[in-house]
Amino acid sequence: MGLDNPLHIAFLVVILLLVFGARRLPEIGRSLGSGMREFKTSVTGEMQHPQQTLPPAGAPQQQTPAPAQPPAQAPAPQPPPAQPAVAEPVATPAAPPEQPPAA
C-alpha cells in the first residue's frame, strides 16, 4: 500500500482540502518546501549566494548591443509646492490706559 494509486492521491487531497482549506494549502506547501530546502543546504554544507552567480570561465559571454537612445535630459527642477496663504491676525488698536486725574 502506498501512494502509487491515483485514487489514493485524490483521496488524500480531498482530506487535506477539508482539514486546512483551499487558502492555507499553498502557504503550507511553500513553508514545507523552504524548510526542506534549508534542511538540505544545512546537511550538505553548501552555501548559495544568489547575488554572486557568475558564468563559467570557459563559457563564451554574449553581449547584446545596447539600443541607441538619445541622451536623456535632466528633469527640470520642480519649484517647491505652494504654501497656502495664511491670513495673519489683524491687530486691534489697544485703547490707551486711562490715566488717573492729576490732583
- Does 13 fall in a domain? yes
Instruction: Say how many domains are in the chain.
Output: 1
- Does 1 fall in a domain? no
- Does 36 fall in a domain? yes
**Quick check: 15 pLDDT over 90?**
yes
Q: Cell numbers 558564468 correspond to what residue?
A: 55
Q: Which pLDDT value is given to residue 98?
A: 74
Q: Which pLDDT value is given to residue 32?
A: 92
- Does 101 fall in a domain? no
- Does 92 fall in a domain? no
Instruction: Provide the whole-model pTM.
Output: 0.35
Maximum alpha-carbon separation in the chain: 124
- Does 17 fall in a domain? yes
SS3 of residue 46 by DSSP: coil
Q: Cell numbers 557568475 correspond to what residue?
A: 54
**Quick check: 91 pLDDT over 70?**
no
- Does 37 fall in a domain? yes
Cβ within 8 Å of residue 17, ≥6 positions away: 25
Q: Which pLDDT value is given to residue 46?
A: 73
Phi, psi of 26 (to 5 degrees): -60, -40
Cβ within 8 Å of residue 12, ≥6 positions away: 3
| Boundaries of domain holding 38 | 6-46
Encode pLDDT of 22-81 as tens digits. Answer: 889 889 999 999 999 999 999 988 765 555 555 556 555 556 655 566 556 656 667 666
**Helix and strand element counts for the chain (H, E):** 2, 0
- Does 35 fall in a domain? yes
And the C-alpha cell for 50?
544568489
